[in-house]
């Protein structure tokens, strides 16, 4: 982007504000409307910017079926990451775990199974028996493990989820939303990249029984590397999928489809629409100097200004050069101030619509100058204000 600079007559605390604008005005982006899916609830989101690209009923509470196991596995991965659990630990298999109905890993009551094997059984085979076994081993009971799941849900900001078991087997008070499941999946990919690789494994053999991964998109689309299927009569056919192409990662959630083929087909529609019509880029990195700003009453004449977090923006594909960038801040800063202090606002817009906004912050500390320095700056600013008013 080519930058040009202009001052505008917007004031903060009586100080003129400076704006820097990149890009030029262009026609409104032309993109096709999103697909309409044969599904009760769905969502498409960019994993890096967390921009929602498509959604329908994404905040509606519905049974998550085996999508629940994304949270079950996340808890296991958190325990492994913290060192409270080891992958080679042997977990005893109870009668309750062995008897659990639905999809199975086929573990046997009275035996012991390594934690790593149970985790693969949960992720790849969607084993209800493995889910109960690991829940009992970590928390003492499945009820206690469900309490851990709900604590973790709150920590991740899942606002409309309630977990009563580790499997997703039906219960009226066990629910989630497409929105929450997407947020959970993004956290999984971000926080546990090594364990996330398991979600792309196409099959797993345990107890001499080989079972394929139920996510058939792994065979249909090479960019898909997860995540999880689910089905109960109440939930319908569900699928959380994630794919990465050219550094852009999308997460789709389809819930309430009427068949295995439908959930795959509708998920593919979402992913194809997102990759075809949108792009995501990191425009500014945290801690990188974007501008030198004048400082008065300090032991330095200028300070570096930037952003505290990476600026990651999703926008219609092909319109990067049309993004307008405005950095608005006071014409000068008065010391002292610490690093990280907000001093302005960064705004990115396209065709008049704000894509992103974030505070501009100081990147280094500036201490107050001595008496002579402060006196000199006072005199300078006094006369500068007079000439400015006369101008």
Q: Could you report the per-residue pLDDT of 260-276, keeping only the tens digit for each?
A: 999 999 999 999 999 99
Classify domain 3-28+285-390 by CATH architecture.
Sandwich (2.60)
Q: Where in the chain is the domain with CATH 2.60.410.10?
A: 3-28+285-390
Instruction: Identify the band that residue 330 occupies on the pLDDT scale cut at 50, 70 and 90.
Output: confident
Please indicate whether residue 369 is annotated as part of the active site. no
Please indicate whether residue 49 is annotated as part of the active site. no
Instruction: From the candidates 126, 161, 176, 242, give the one annotated as an active-site residue.
Output: 126
Contact 305, 291 (CB under 8 A): yes
Contact 305, 321 (CB under 8 A): no
Q: pLDDT tens across 73-99, in order?
A: 999 999 999 999 999 999 999 999 999
CATH of 41-280, one of 3.40.710.10, 3.10.20.310, 3.30.450.20, 3.90.1150.10: 3.40.710.10
Instruction: From the candidates 40, 41, 66, 94, give the one annotated as an active-site residue.
Output: 66
Q: What angle do CA 382, 384, 386 make, to 5 degrees?
A: 75
Instruction: Identify the band that residue 10 occupies on the pLDDT scale cut at 50, 70 and 90.
Output: very low
Instruction: Identify the band that residue 384 occupies on the pLDDT scale cut at 50, 70 and 90.
Output: low
pLDDT at 179: 98
**C-alpha–C-alpha distance, residues 202 and 216, integer Å:** 9
CB atoms within 10 A of CB 12: 14
Q: Where in the chain is the domain with CATH 3.40.710.10?
A: 41-280
pLDDT at 329: 85
**C-alpha–C-alpha distance, residues 228 and 248, integer Å:** 20
Instruction: From the candidates 39, 49, 69, 228, give the one annotated as an active-site residue.
Output: 69
Q: pLDDT tens across 136-169, in order?
A: 999 999 999 999 999 999 999 999 999 999 999 9
Residue 229: exposure state from Cβ atoms within 10 A (0-12, 13-18, ≥19):
buried
**C-alpha–C-alpha distance, residues 298 and 338, integer Å:** 12
Which contacts of 23-26 are long-range, i.e. CB under 8 A and separated by 24 or more positions?
Answer: 23/321, 23/322, 23/323, 23/324, 23/325, 24/322, 24/324, 25/324, 25/351, 26/319, 26/322, 26/351
Q: What is the chain's mean pLDDT, rounded?
A: 89
- CA distances for 146 relative to 150, 165, 180, 389, angstroms: 6, 5, 16, 67
pLDDT at 372: 45
**C-alpha–C-alpha distance, residues 115 and 89, integer Å:** 6
Q: What's the pTM?
A: 0.88
Taking 50 as the threshold, does the pLDDT of residue 204 lie above it?
yes
SS3 assignment, position 162 = strand
Please indicate whether residue 357 is annotated as part of the active site. no
């Amino acid at each position: 982007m080519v930058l040009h600079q202009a001052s505008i007559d917007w004031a903060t605390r009586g100080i003129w504000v400076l704006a820097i604008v990149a890009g030029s005005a262009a026609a409104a982006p032309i993109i096709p409307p999103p697909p309409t899916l044969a599904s009760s609830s769905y969502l498409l989101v960019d994993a890096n910017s967390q921009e929602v690209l498509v959604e329908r009923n994404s905040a509606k509470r519905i049974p998550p079926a085996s999508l629940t196991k994304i949270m079950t596995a996340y808890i296991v991965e958190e325990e492994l990451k913290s060192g409270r659990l080891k992958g080679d630990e042997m977990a005893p298999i109870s009668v309750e775990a062995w008897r659990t109905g639905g999809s199975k890993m086929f573990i046997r009551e009275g035996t012991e199974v390594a934690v790593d094997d149970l985790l693969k059984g949960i992720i790849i085979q969607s084993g209800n028996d493995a889910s109960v076994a690991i829940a009992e081993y970590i928390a003492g009971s499945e009820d206690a493990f469900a309490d851990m799941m709900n604590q973790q849900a709150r920590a991740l900001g899942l606002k409309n989820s309630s977990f009563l078991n580790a499997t997703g087997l039906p219960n009226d008070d066990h629910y989630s939303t497409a929105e929450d499941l997407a947020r959970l999946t993004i956290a999984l990919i971000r926080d546990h990249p090594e364990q996330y690789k398991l979600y792309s494994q196409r099959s797993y053999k345990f107890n001499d029984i080989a079972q394929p991964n139920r996510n058939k998109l792994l065979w249909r689309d090479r960019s898909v590397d997860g995540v999880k299927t689910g089905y109960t009569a109440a939930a319908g056919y569900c699928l959380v999928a994630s794919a990465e192409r050219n550094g852009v990662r999308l997460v789709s959630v389809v819930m309430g489809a009427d068949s295995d083929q439908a959930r795959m087909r509708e998920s593919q529609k979402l992913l194809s629409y997102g990759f075809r019509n949108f792009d995501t880029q990191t425009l500014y990195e945290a801690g990188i100097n974007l501008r030198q700003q004048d400082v008065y009453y300090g032991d330095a004449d200028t300070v570096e200004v930037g952003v505290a977090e990476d600026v990651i923006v999703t926008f219609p594909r092909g319109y990067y050069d049309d993004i307008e960038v405005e950095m608005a801040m006071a014409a000068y800063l008065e010391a002292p101030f610490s690093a990280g202090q907000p001093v302005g606002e960064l705004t990115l817009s396209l065709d008049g619509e704000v894509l992103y906004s974030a505070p501009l912050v100081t990147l280094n500390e500036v201490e107050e100058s001595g008496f002579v320095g402060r006196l000199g700056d006072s005199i300078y600013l006094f006369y500068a204000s007079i000439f400015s008013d006369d101008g």
